[in-house]
Amino acid sequence: MNVSELLRLLQTEHDESAARAGNPREQIERLTTALAETAARLAELAATRKVIDGLTPPDHATAPAETATVYQRIVTTFNEHPGKVFRVRDLHEHLGLPTDEPSINVTRSRLGRLVRQGLLEQPGRGV
């Protein structure tokens, strides 16, 4: 075997090895990208969980009625009675709120805000 043939064989071996190395490099790039995207998503989920944990009572317990805002009490009532349709006056009686007309109008306004925010659904007029 002469030197030029040996150099040609070495070059052929080098080219084949370089070609084989290209495929794992591409896989490493794809996996690195996927890992970075997954790490970013995990950070987003951790931040979301932290915000939600800060907004909910410990152990996801229902806030006591005396310390909860009227909005919280309304949403809690609907969560405790899924599928039940309330009229405003019935909701007031259930929550132990005054049933005079000005108080009921305030609650109508609150319910409208909750519907617009997507927290409640209004199946029909007056309910």
| 37, pLDDT greater than 90 | yes
Higher pLDDT, 121 or 17: 17
Residue with tokens 């969560």: 79
- Residues 58-75: tens digit of each pLDDT: 655 554 544 458 778 888
Q: What is the reported pLDDT for 58?
A: 60
**Residue 127: which pLDDT band, with cuts at 50, 70 and 90?**
low
Instruction: Name, of 14-23, 28-37, 44-53, 97-106, the range with top average pLDDT.
Output: 28-37
Q: What is the reported pLDDT for 126?
A: 64
pTM of the complete model: 0.43
Structure tokens at 39: 């790490």
